[in-house]
Amino acid sequence: MSTLDTVRSHIEQELQRRQINLTQFEKISGINRGVLSATLNSNPPRSISINQLDRMAAALDRPEGWLYEQYIEECFASSKVNWRRIRALFLRCIELDRNVLIEYTLNLLMEDYRYVPHVFDLAEELVLNGQLEQSVPFYTCVIENERQQHAERLAISQYRLFRAQLSEDIERNKSAVTLFYPYRDRIPDHLRLDALLQMANVYYTVQEWDLMEQVTDEMSVLVHRVYEEECKKMDRQGADYVPLSTERHLVWYYGQSYLIKSIFFEYTGKYKEGLKYIDGYKDLSWFKSLNEVGHLEVHKLKIAAEANLYNLQLMLGNTECLENYITFLKENPFEQLPSLLTILKAANINHFCIDSVLNTFIAHPDNNIKFEIGYYKNSITFNTMLTDFYYQLAIYQAKRGYPLEEFKNTLNTFDMSLRRYNMSRTMDYTSLIQHFIRSMP
pLDDT by residue (tens digit) across 215-227? 999 999 999 999 9
First to last CA, the chain: 84
Residue 334 pLDDT greater than 90, yes or no: no
- Do both 189 and 284 map to the same domain? yes
Residues 247 and 287 in one domain: yes
pLDDT digits (tens, 9 = 90+) for 8-20: 999 999 999 999 9
What is the reported pLDDT for 178?
A: 98
Task: Please say which residue of 289, 316, 343 terminates a domain.
Answer: 316
Q: Are residues 338 and 311 in the same domain?
A: no
CATH number at 228 reads: 1.25.40
pLDDT tens track for 335-393: 888 999 999 999 999 999 999 999 888 754 455 555 455 556 556 788 888 888 888 99
Q: What is the mean pLDDT of residues 400-406?
A: 85
Does some domain include residue 342? yes
187 and 210, same domain (yes or no): yes
Is 352 in the same domain as 427? yes
Highest average pLDDT, of 89-98, 331-340, 430-439, comes from 89-98
Interatomic CA distance for residues 212 and 257, integer angstroms: 11
Q: Tell me, yes or no, whether 308 and 346 share the same domain.
A: no
Q: How confident is the model at residue 4 (pLDDT cuts 50, 70, 90)?
A: very low
Q: Is residue 285 part of a domain?
A: yes
Residue 115's pLDDT band, with cuts at 50, 70 and 90, is very high
Q: Note whether 193 and 259 are same-domain residues.
A: yes
pLDDT of residue 244: 95
Could you say which of 316, 343, 376 is where a domain stops?
Answer: 316
Count of structural domains within the chain? 2
**For residue 269, how far is the Cα from the chain centroid?**
30
Domain check: are 379 and 312 in the same one? no
Is a pLDDT exceeding 90 seen at residue 93? yes
- Distance in angstroms (rounded) separating the CA atoms of residues 134 and 112: 23
Give residue 291's pLDDT: 96
pLDDT band, residue 78 (cuts 50/70/90): confident
d(CA 341, CA 385): 7
For residue range 230-252, list pLDDT tens digits in order: 999 999 999 899 999 999 999 99
Q: Which of 255, 290, 316 is the last residue of a domain?
A: 316
| Same-domain status, 361 and 279 | no
Say what the pTM is. 0.89
Question: What is the rounded CA–CA span in Å between residue 254 and residue 58?
Answer: 53
* 342 and 433 part of one domain: yes
Looking at the predicted structure, is the pLDDT value of residue 144 above 70?
Answer: yes
Distance of CA 336 to the CA centre of its chain: 23
277 and 389 both lie in a single domain: no
Could you tell me the pLDDT band of residue 441, with boundaries at 50, 70 and 90? low
Q: How does 282-313 read in b/e, with b if 16+ C-beta sit within 10 Å?
A: bebeebebbeeebeebbebbbbbbbbbbbbbb
Range of the domain at 440: 331-441
pLDDT exceeds cutoff 50 at 3: no
Q: Using alpha carbons only, what angle is made at residue 162 by residues 114 and 139, rounded to the nearest 5 degrees? A: 20
Residues 348 and 297 in one domain: no
Q: Is residue 24 part of a domain?
A: no
What are the residues facing 368 on neighbouring strands? 363
